[in-house]
């Protein structure tokens, strides 16, 4: 029996261990999508957003570019705005909205929240250099576990950004609960901007998650590399194939890692709340998969009704010409 004590000293590693303990010892095997975003994974995701096949990021950015002034004006409702972003990552598209906000008011407080610290730090440096007037106050936090927002500065209204189709990772009931949680932390008058990817032709969806260059494949497999790095597991990532398939019943792209043969993987034990200290032996049948992500695609109007059901009043929805992506603004009622 090997007992790993060093890497698991951090709370973060224990969080990873707990997720693995829960997801790989159950059947079917699954891991939560937040595990993708270590430093390597965040960089791979940034490369995904630039792939020719991956339309969501550039489509949402175009919607912001065309409508930023209107979005900000509607959200502000003649007050000053403070902007909070959940799952901010590299904050790239947000800069368009921040630019529009500083054009209306001299200074804007911007609080990006993300589980990955490195992209947040880079974004802070870049935004403060490129958009004078924006004060960036990053927060490393898993907003799905706790969403304690600071109270607004007096007289200011908060605009929460939940963009990039991040909500697509959640099952409908979880998405609903998360929006309800966001609503409960806001005051009447505050607003929420949600970006969702829309249902479209299957070939387009399939290509976006099965790119020619193999970046999505690397992003998916990085999860196993991460478990090797952080938990001392002995996954051979090449023995798992990237699978991304459209599930029409659930209106979602599913990503899986499929074991190419029968194999047993060992994860050293650890003494934590969820660990017994004994090594974990994980057996994979040939063809068995680890379900690593769901990416739900919405139908027009669906976001608005969900927002309404948790106490928001939908104000306006913007889409692109092809109807591929939608951005909805709603006010806390």
Q: Contact positions toward ligand AVJ, by CB under 6 A?
A: 48, 56, 164-166, 168-169, 209, 216, 293, 295
For residue 72, what are its two tokens? 């900000």
- What is the closest distance, in whole angstroms, from the C-beta atom of residue 224 to ligand AVJ in the complex? 15
- What is the closest distance, in whole angstroms, from the C-beta atom of residue 270 to ligand AVJ in the complex? 28
Contact 194, 175 (CB under 8 A): no
Q: Tokens 């023995």 label which residue? A: 239
Following DSSP, what letter does each residue of 269-295 receive, concatenated? B-BSSS-BSSPEEEEE-TT-EEEEEEE
Cβ closest to ligand AVJ, residue 82 vs residue 90: 90
- Would you tell me the crossing angle of helices 117-130 and 94-104 to the nearest 10 degrees? 40
- What is the closest distance, in whole angstroms, from the C-beta atom of residue 191 to ligand AVJ in the complex? 21
- What is the closest distance, in whole angstroms, from the C-beta atom of residue 86 to ligand AVJ in the complex? 12
Q: Tokens 């829960």 label which residue? A: 22
Contact 104, 70 (CB under 8 A): no
Contact 7, 13 (CB under 8 A): yes
- What is the closest distance, in whole angstroms, from the C-beta atom of residue 255 to ligand AVJ in the complex? 6
Cβ closest to ligand AVJ, residue 48 vs residue 100: 48
Cβ closest to ligand AVJ, residue 44 vs residue 280: 44
Following DSSP, what letter does each residue of 63-83 receive, concatenated? HHHHHHHHHHHHHHTTSEEEE
Contact 44, 222 (CB under 8 A): yes
Q: Which residue is nearest to ligand AVJ (CB)?
A: 295
Nearest-5° angle of CA 166, CA 168, CA 171?
125
- What is the closest distance, in whole angstroms, from the C-beta atom of residue 21 to ligand AVJ in the complex? 24
Cβ closest to ligand AVJ, residue 123 vs residue 270: 123
Cβ closest to ligand AVJ, residue 99 vs residue 166: 166
Cβ closest to ligand AVJ, residue 259 vs residue 295: 295
């Amino acid at each position: 029996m090997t007992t790993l004590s060093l890497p698991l000293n951090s709370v973060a590693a224990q969080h990873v261990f707990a997720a693995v303990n829960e997801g790989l010892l159950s059947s079917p095997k699954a891991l939560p999508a937040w595990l993708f975003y270590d430093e390597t994974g965040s960089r791979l995701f940034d490369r995904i957003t630039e792939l020719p096949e991956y339309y969501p990021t550039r489509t949402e950015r175009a919607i912001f570019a065309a409508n930023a002034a209107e979005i900000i004006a509607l959200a502000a409702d003649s007050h000053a705005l403070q902007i909070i972003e959940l799952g901010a990552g590299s904050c790239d598209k947000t800069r368009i909205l921040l630019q529009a906000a500083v054009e209306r008011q001299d200074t804007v407080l911007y609080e990006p929240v993300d589980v990955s610290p490195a992209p947040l730090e880079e974004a802070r440096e870049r935004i403060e250099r490129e958009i004078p007037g924006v004060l960036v106050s990053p927060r490393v936090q898993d907003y799905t576990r706790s969403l304690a927002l600071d109270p607004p500065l007096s007289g200011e209204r908060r605009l929460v950004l939940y963009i990039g189709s991040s909500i697509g990772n959640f099952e409908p009931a979880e998405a609903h609960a998360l929006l309800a949680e966001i609503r409960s932390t806001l005051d009447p008058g505050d607003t929420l901007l949600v970006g969702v990817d829309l249902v479209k032709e299957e070939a387009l969806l399939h290509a976006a998650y099965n790119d020619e260059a193999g970046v999505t494949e690397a992003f998916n497999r990085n999860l196993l590399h991460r478990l090797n790095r952080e938990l001392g597991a002995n996954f051979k990532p090449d023995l798992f194939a990237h699978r991304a398939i459209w599930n029409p019943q659930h209106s979602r792209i599913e990503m899986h890692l499929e074991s190419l043969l029968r194999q047993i993987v060992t994860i050293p034990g650890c003494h934590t709340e969820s660990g017994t200290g004994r090594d974990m032996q994980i057996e994979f049948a040939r063809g068995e998969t680890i379900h690593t992500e769901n990416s739900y695609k919405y139908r027009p109007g669906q976001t608005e009704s969900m927002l309404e059901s948790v106490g928001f009043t939908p104000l306006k929805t913007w889409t692109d010409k092809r109807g591929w992506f939608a951005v909805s603004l709603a006010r806390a009622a």
